[in-house]
Amino acid sequence: MSIKSIPDIFKAFQQLKVLVIGDVMIDAYIWGTVSRISPEAPVPVVNVKNREKRMGGAANVALNLQSLGAEPILCAVLGDDEGADIFEGLLEKRNITGKGIIRSKDRITTLKERVLSGSQHLLRVDSESLEPLIQAEENLLLAKILELINEVDVIVFEDYDKGTITPQIIQQTVEKAKELGKPVVVDPKKNNFFDYKGVDLFKPNLKELKEGMHVDFSNSDQDMLKEQTRLLREMLSAKFVMTTLSEKGVYIQSEKEDFLIPAYKRSISDVSGAGDTVISIAALCIALKLRSDFVASLSNLGGGIVCEELGVVPIDAKKLEVEAIKHNLQF
């Protein structure tokens, strides 16, 4: 379709299918009130008022993509356990296909349990497998990816360092995507940082950029930011590197141009999941071949919007569209 306005962009999002490869998890929330300290130990006693389980990790990228109108297909490995049953139930409830999901008796399904009182986060308990996939699991996942890649418009790697994504999976997926002319975007973590060679967009945050490049510099040092981003982009042979800068916005760089997009002032409640929103928006924009400054601007705007919510929540597409028009984002 011909794109002549921001509403046209959001309509075009609804035509896209996205393959999301990565570490999925269950985000569990226990909300309650605290009125006393335990007599057993100096810790607050939480009187539970509500419990909720949500899809997290790479599955939150799928939720964001769905909220934006696109159709996500998740490729991931779960344990063969109660957590997997819960996760697949959540997928079904949200009408997201589970055809790319594999179960393994050698892993457990990642569960992050958070205890909150009002807006105060009191405790988090994690249950997870961190070992890389064994060969049999890797082969099964790769077969799923290579089967499903034909029907999508863009591929997202959502890496949480939980072992689902391996160098072999990255290499073969990127090779196949190039062969089919389909863009690949990456939300990286430490372990596979330099394995994402030849991708279209690589999105570290500033901390990940510094750690990956083994340098430290002031968050306000724009010259170092630009130089380290250039070095990383060249090392990866990536078309774009987009570094998120928290309250300072987003910096995107290609071989020919670069843009530093400042953040909009907001009342921040919780930064959890903002990176998932950013990569989801960026992936759809890259699939539509939109300008890099627009990719960064819309992603930046969406990341800020979800930070106003408590807990990990997907972007509200209508709110994002309204704000994009209000701020007169140029595409």
Secondary structure of residue 274 in the 3-state scheme: helix
Tell me how far apart the alpha carbons of residues 233 and 230 are, in angstroms, rounded to a whole number. Answer: 5
Share of the chain above pLDDT 90, in %: 87
Among 310, 305, 292, 321, residue whose Cα is nearest residue 50: 310
pLDDT single digits (tens) 21-66: 999 999 999 999 999 999 999 999 999 999 999 999 999 999 999 9
| pLDDT at position 330 | 87
CB within 8 Å of 149: residues ≥ 6 apart? 19, 155, 173, 176, 177, 180, 182
Mean pLDDT of 101-120: 94
CB within 8 Å of 184: residues ≥ 6 apart? 154, 155, 156, 157, 173, 174, 177, 196, 199, 200, 201
Mean pLDDT of 110-125: 93
| pLDDT at position 247 | 83
| pLDDT at position 287 | 98
Q: How many CB atoms lie within 10 A of CB 48?
A: 10
| pLDDT at position 311 | 62
Please indicate, yes or no, whether the overall pTM of this predicted structure exceeds 0.75.
Answer: yes
The residues that are catalytic are 276
Tell me how far apart the alpha carbons of residues 277 and 102 are, in angstroms, rounded to a whole number. Answer: 24
Residue 20 reports pLDDT greater than 60? yes
Mean pLDDT of 111-135: 94
Residue 272 reports pLDDT greater than 70? no
Mean pLDDT of 126-136: 95
Tell me how far apart the alpha carbons of residues 190 and 240 are, in angstroms, rounded to a whole number. Answer: 19
Task: Find out whether 53 and 109 touch, Cβ atoms under 8 Å.
Answer: no
Share of the chain above pLDDT 70, in %: 96
Encoded tokens for 236: 């990866």
| pLDDT at position 306 | 81
Sign for the CA dihedral angle at 296, 302, 306, 312 comes to negative
pLDDT single digits (tens) 280-304: 999 999 999 999 999 999 999 999 8
pLDDT single digits (tens) 157-174: 999 999 999 999 999 999
Residue 269 reports pLDDT greater than 60? no
